[in-house]
Each structure stands twice: as structure tokens, then as C-alpha cells.
Amino acid sequence: MFEKVNPSHPDKVADRIAGAIVDLAYSKAEDPKIAVEVLVGHGTCRIIAETSVSIDEKDIQSAVERITGCNLKLDYTEVPQDVILSSNQKNETRCGDNGIFKGTVVTEEQNRLSDLARRIYKAFPTDGKYIIHNEKVVICQSHAKEEEIRAICPTAIINPLGEWTGGPDVDCGATNRKLGSDMGDSVTGGGLHGKDLSKADVSVNIYAWLEAQKTGKTVQYSCAIGDTEINGVPYSEIVETARDFIKKAGGFESFAMWGLV
């Protein structure tokens, strides 16, 4: 059983906005320290950023408008990252958070639904949610008629409550609320989106997921703030592995569109 949501789902819109802000931070510094929370919906986008670099509010407004397609009221609060918390990063790359992490192999069922979600979204780039359980597939896609979707997936249950509007004027979205969609069975603690690479929630989650795909086995890690290695692997190596993955994804905003699965 697996649920997937697409990039126009309000929660993913929030993830994408958070990712865009992290991208802006990385355009200003090689290794910024930033954590972003986004709440979007009903004409307003509220953002809090704890950051080591200041970001122009006009650039944030531009990103919000580009991603949402709307001229939303922006409520942006920017504060410096805690001095004590950031001090462990001054001299070397060290873990920026406590956490436990699990990487699992993506299943055939998860791959099947992820591929279907991407094909539907390419044809109908509007809010959508998808569920698969054994051979049962449920597709909810706003602004698309049943016959249009059935051409892509003939056997699915489609919009069981009828056609619907979707989007952030129907439902609000918040960062890291769709981790099951983004990570499959790898969900443990910590969210993937809106944080820099020093945060274990980003780098160790990505590293664990990659290790699971490589080994074909579930892997588990734990870490504490200030750790210089995890399970014998230098934290700097874990960060660089995650950095390379994010670069290949096209940046934090692009990564937030679909996550790991």
C-alpha cells in the first residue's frame, strides 16, 4: 500500500517554496545554514526562515508567485540561526541535528504508482493524489475529467467523489507533511525539505535511502548534534553524497517536487 501526491498538491507546493528559498540561500553562500517552514493557502503564504544569510523578500515573493501561479499575500519572518547551534559547524562539517534514520528499498508497487503519478501530472499539471493497494488504484486529480484520466489508467477508480477543484484555495499546505509520498517506507524522524545539507534530516535521509538502493537491504542510522561521523562514515562524506544527489535533481526546489520515490 502506498500513497503518492504530485507537485501541485498544497503540501508539495509548500515543500517547493521551502526548497526554492534554500536554493536562494545556496546562491549566496557555499554552505549556508537555513531552516524554513512554509504554510500556504487561502490567499496567504506564511514563511519563517532561520538563516545565516539574509534573503531579499522580493526574491521570495517572486518564487512564491512562480510556484503557486498566484499573487498571494506574503508574510515573511527571517531570524538568525541560533549562535550556539551553528557554532559546531565553524571548523569542520559536523552533524547539525539529532535523529534516527532508515533507508528502505523502493518496492515494485511504489515504483509503479510513482511512474503513474508522473505520467498523469505531465498530462494534467493540477493537484492530484494517488493510492495503490495490490491491484487497486485510486486517482484523485483536480481539473481533469474521468475519461481523460482513464485513457492513461483504464482500470483505476477515478475521482470517487466526482470532479473537484483542488489546490491551496481548497486546502492549506505545510512543509514536510507528505513524507510518506516522498520517502515510501523509509520514513522515520525528520523532514526532507526546507533545510540545508548540514541538517541530518536532509543528508542522512538521502544517504540512507541511497545505501538501501545500493545494497538491496534496509539500513538504519542514528546521530547526535556535533557528530563527525555516522556508523564509521565521515559526516562530511555523507553531506557531499547528498549535495551531489541534490545537484543531479536540479536543486532543492526540484527535489521537493517528488522527493526520493
Structural contact between residues 33 and 96, judged by C-beta atoms closer than 8 angstroms: yes
What single-letter amino acid sits at 141? Q
Q: Which residue has the higher pLDDT, 117 or 188?
A: 117
Tell me what pLDDT residue 96 has: 82
Query: H helices of 92-168, where?
Result: 108-123, 146-150
What's the count of helices (H) and strands (E) in the chain, helices before strands? Answer: 9, 12
CB atoms within 10 A of CB 61: 16
Average pLDDT of the chain is: 95
Look at residues 49, 52, 6, 50 and name the one whose alpha carbon lies nearest to residue 60. 49
> Which letter, b or e, does each residue of 192-211 get, where b requires 16 or more Cβ atoms within 10 Å of its Cβ?
bbbbbbbbbbbbbbbbbbbb
Q: What are the distances in angstroms from CA 18 to CA 26, 82, 188, 195, 213?
A: 13, 19, 21, 8, 27
Tell me what pLDDT residue 6 has: 98
Alpha carbon distance 112, 101 (integer Å): 25
The CATH 3.30.300.10 domain(s) of the chain lie at 10-84
10-84: CATH class: alpha beta
Structural contact between residues 33 and 89, judged by C-beta atoms closer than 8 angstroms: yes
Q: Could you read off the pLDDT of 52-110 as tens digits, one per residue?
A: 999 999 999 999 999 999 889 999 999 998 877 777 777 788 898 889 999 999 999 99
Q: Which of 14-18, 185-189, 203-207, 217-221 has the lowest mean pLDDT?
A: 185-189
* DSSP SS3 for 226: coil
All residues at 6 or more sequence positions from 10 whose CB lies less than 8 Å from its CB, including other chains: 40, 41, 127, 167, 168, 170, 171, 172, 173
Tell me what pLDDT residue 81 has: 85
pLDDT at residue 129 tops 80: yes
Structural contact between residues 73 and 45, judged by C-beta atoms closer than 8 angstroms: yes
- Give the whole-number percent of the chain exceeding pLDDT 90: 85
* DSSP SS3 for 90: coil
Tell me what pLDDT residue 25 has: 98
Q: Could you read off the pLDDT of 214-247 as tens digits, one per residue?
A: 999 999 999 998 899 999 999 999 999 999 999 9
- Give the whole-number percent of the chain exceeding pLDDT 70: 100
Q: Could you read off the pLDDT of 22-35 as tens digits, one per residue?
A: 999 999 999 999 99
What single-letter amino acid sits at 177? R
Tell me what pLDDT residue 169 has: 85
Q: Could you read off the pLDDT of 143-184 as tens digits, one per residue?
A: 999 999 999 999 999 999 888 888 888 889 999 999 999 999
